[in-house]
Amino acid sequence: GAGVSQSPSNKVTEKGKDVELRCDPISGHTALYWYRQSLGQGLEFLIYFQGNSAPDKSGLPSDRFSAERTGGSVSTLTIQRTQQEDSAVYLCASSSYRGTGIGQYFGPGTRLTVT
Amino acid sequence: AQTVTQSQPEMSVQEAETVTLSCTYDTSESDYYLFWYKQPPSRQMILVIRQEAYKQQNATENRFSVNFQKAAKSFSLKISDSQLGDAAMYFCAYIIPQGGSEKLVFGKGTKLTVNP
């Protein structure tokens, strides 16, 4: 694909509902990242996938957050029992090399609003 | 703690002029990579420029250049001949490529306004 794509672009949900956010990385990119961007906290790392290695989940804020990456490509970020503080823009990024700092390429994000 | 500080929440510049955005960071590592990202109102984060910490030469990408001072842990971005399309949030960030994670650590951002 031409770039990282994310869906949906915007999501409004009621407090307590579960949501799934999808990310399609650039074809061939082995690394995939999720970040959260909120007014109060800025940009925060959530989770990182690299090839077949165990993901780095150190940024997930609670056990209501989980993510998976199927077939080394598409990733889904799931938030269970959403809370109002989960309202934010969720950004996905991918990169092609490990350890070279070549830079990550971001998708347009999903704006999540919890009412 | 690893941190990135952007001391200018907002900056403005006249079209065609030059502006410099400041960034300092704190890490005890010697091997890392530094980045400037641009985020226009469309939300899309765009990589502007990158710098390897082991390189003394400052990176340049067309109208964008950096002033990297490793000892001072400073990484400022200079935008020359500013254009209206440069208006955006600018984020300074770094990666420490070790272990199993290469997460970006971001500053809070600087909002750049370009006046016609």
What is the three-class DSSP state of B84? helix
Question: pLDDT band for position B31 (50/70/90)?
Answer: confident
Residue B5 has pLDDT above 80, yes or no: yes
Measure the CA dihedral A7/A81/A113/B92, to 10°.
-70
Give the number of beta-carbon pairs within 8 Å between A and B.
Answer: 65
CB B11 within 8 Å of CB B59: no
CB-based contacts of B73, cutoff 8 Å, min separation 6: B24, B25, B26, B27
Angle at B54 between CA B95 and CA B23, to 5 degrees: 55
Instruction: Look at residue B1 in the predicted model and tell me its pLDDT.
Output: 65
How far off is chain A from B109, nearest CA to CA, in Å? 8
The answer to whether the CB atoms of A105 and B47 lie below 8 A apart is yes
Tell me the pLDDT tens digit for each residue of B37-90: 999 988 889 999 999 998 889 999 999 999 999 999 999 999 999 999 999 999
- What percent of chain B is modeled with pLDDT above 70? 95
Task: Please check whether residue A35 touches B, CB under 8 A.
Answer: yes
| Positions of chain A with pLDDT lower than 70, given as ranges | 1, 97-101
How far off is chain B from A54, nearest CA to CA, in Å? 8
Domains and CATH numbers, chain B: 3-115 (2.60.40.10)
How far off is chain B from A48, nearest CA to CA, in Å? 7
Task: Please check whether residue A8 touches B, CB under 8 A.
Answer: no
Instruction: Look at residue A99 in the predicted model and tell me its pLDDT.
Output: 56
Domains and CATH numbers, chain A: 13-97 (2.60.40.10)
Q: The dihedral of CA A110, A114, B3, B4: what is its sign?
A: positive
The answer to whether the CB atoms of B44 and A33 lie below 8 A apart is no
Instruction: Look at residue A101 in the predicted model and tell me its pLDDT.
Output: 65
What is the three-class DSSP state of A47? strand
Nearest-by-Cβ selection for A101 from B43, B52, B107: B52
